[in-house]
Amino acid sequence: MSAQSTAHSFKANATGAMADAQLTGNLKAVRQNFIDKRAKAASELPEFEALRENAKEIKNHTLAHLDLYLEKYEAKVTASGGYVHFAADAEEARQITLDICRKVGAKTVTKGKSMITEEVGLNAFLEANGVTPVETDLGEYIIQLRGEAPSHIIAPAVHLNKEQIESDFRRVHTHLDANRDLTEKTSLLTEARAVLREKFLVADVGITGANFLIAETGTSIIVTNEGNGDLTQVLPKVHVVMASIEKMVPTLEDVSQILRLLARSATGQEMSVYTTLSTGPRRKGAFSSEVDAGSREENATKKEARAQARGDVDGPEEYHVIILDNGRSAMLGGEFQDMLRCIRCAACMNHCPVYHQIGGHAYGWIYPGPMGSVLTPSLIGVDEAGHLPNASTFCGRCESVCPMKIPLPKMMRHWREREFERNLNPAIARYGLGLWAFFARRPKLYALSTRIAMKAMRLLGRGKGRFTWLLGASAWTKYRDFAVPEGETFQAKWKRERGVK
Amino acid sequence: MPVESLASPDQPGAAPRVALFATCLVDAMRPTVGFAAAKLLEDAGCTVHVPPQTCCGQPAFNNGDRQTSRDLALQMIAAFEPYDYVVVPSGSCGGMISKHYPELFAGDPNLAGRAERLAAKTFELVSFLTDVLGVTSVSATFEGRVTYHDSCSGLRELGIQSQPRKLLASVQGLSLVEMKDNDVCCGFGGTFAVKYGEISDKIVSEKAVNAQASEAGTLLAGDLGCLMNMAGKLSRKGSAMDVRHVAEVLAGMTATPPIGKVTPDAAAKETTPRGTTP
Ligand code: SF4
Contact A354 B271 (CB under 8 A): no
Q: Which atom of ligand 1 is nearest to the CA of A398?
A: 3
The reply to whether ligand 1 has any atom less than 6 angstroms from the CB of A266 is: no
pLDDT at A301 over 90: no
Architecture of domain A28-128+205-281+316-324: 3-Layer(aba) Sandwich (3.40)
* Predicted local confidence at residue A480, as pLDDT: 95
Confidence at A433, pLDDT banded by 50, 70, 90: confident
Report domain extents, chain A: 28-128+205-281+316-324, 336-425, 440-498
What torsion, rounded to 10 degrees, do the Cα atoms A83, A84, A85, A89 define? Answer: 140
pLDDT tens-digit series, residues A10-44 = 999 999 999 999 999 999 999 999 999 999 999 99
The reply to whether ligand 1 has any atom less than 6 angstroms from the CB of A321 is: no
CA dist., res. A287 & res. A309, Å (int): 5
Q: Give the chain B residue nearest A418 (alpha carbons).
A: B64
CA dist., res. A168 & res. B60, Å (int): 48
Contact B184 A392 (CB under 8 A): no
Question: How many other CB atoms are there within 10 angstroms of residue A140's CB atom?
Answer: 22
Q: Which atom of ligand 1 is nearest to the CA of A371?
A: 1
Domains and CATH numbers, chain B: 12-131 (3.40.50), 136-250 (3.40.50)
Largest interatomic CA distance in chain A: 100
**Rounded to the nearest whole angstrom, what is the distance from the C-alpha of residue A60 to the centroid of ligand 1?**
15
Instruction: Label each residue of B3-16 as H, E or C.
Output: CCCCCCCCCCCCCC
Q: Give the chain B residue nearest A356 (alpha carbons).
A: B203
Give the number of beta-carbon pairs within 8 Å between A and B: 220
3-state SS class at A207: strand
The reply to whether ligand 1 has any atom less than 6 angstroms from the CB of A347 is: yes
Question: How many other CB atoms are there within 10 angstroms of residue A258's CB atom?
Answer: 24
* Predicted local confidence at residue A471, as pLDDT: 79
Q: Give the chain A residue nearest B256 (alpha carbons).
A: A486
pLDDT at A291 over 50: no
User: What superfamily would CATH give domain A336-425?
Assistant: Alpha-helical ferredoxin (1.10.1060.10)
What torsion, rounded to 10 degrees, do the Cα atoms A421, A427, A432, A433 define? Answer: -10
* Predicted local confidence at residue A298, as pLDDT: 57
* Predicted local confidence at residue A295, as pLDDT: 54
CA dist., res. B268 & res. A27, Å (int): 47
Question: What are the φ and ψ backbone dihedral angles of A106, each rounded to 5 degrees?
Answer: -70, 135
Which of A420, A443, A464 minimises the CB distance to B52?
Answer: A443
Tell me whether B209 touches chain A (CB under 8 Å).
no
pLDDT average, residue stretch A334-363: 98
pLDDT tens-digit series, residues B12-49 = 678 999 999 999 999 999 999 999 999 999 999 999 99
Contact B31 A396 (CB under 8 A): no
**Rounded to the nearest whole angstrom, what is the distance from the C-alpha of residue A343 to the centroid of ligand 1?**
6
User: In Å, what is the CA distance from A431 to each residue of A438, A473, B196?
Assistant: 10, 15, 18
Question: A484: distance to nearest CA of chain B, Å?
Answer: 6
The candidate with the shortest Cα–Cα distance to A416, out of A451, A379, A374, is A374
pLDDT tens-digit series, residues A227-263 = 888 888 888 999 999 999 999 999 999 999 999 999 9
Residue nearest to atom 6 of ligand 1 (CA): A342
pLDDT average, residue stretch A347-355: 98
pLDDT tens-digit series, residues A443-467 = 999 999 999 999 999 999 988 899 9
pLDDT tens-digit series, residues A324-340 = 999 999 999 999 999 99
Contact B203 A443 (CB under 8 A): no
- pTM greater than 0.80: yes
pLDDT tens-digit series, residues B231-264 = 999 999 999 999 999 999 999 999 999 999 987 7
The candidate with the shortest Cα–Cα distance to A81, out of A293, A267, A280, is A280
User: In Å, what is the CA distance from A350 to each residue of A399, A401, A460, B12, B181?
Assistant: 12, 10, 43, 50, 14
ipTM value for the complex: 0.94
* Predicted local confidence at residue A307, as pLDDT: 66
pLDDT at B54 over 50: yes
End-to-end CA distance of chain A: 64
Which of B68, B188, B232 minimises the CB distance to A393?
Answer: B188
Contact A447 B65 (CB under 8 A): no
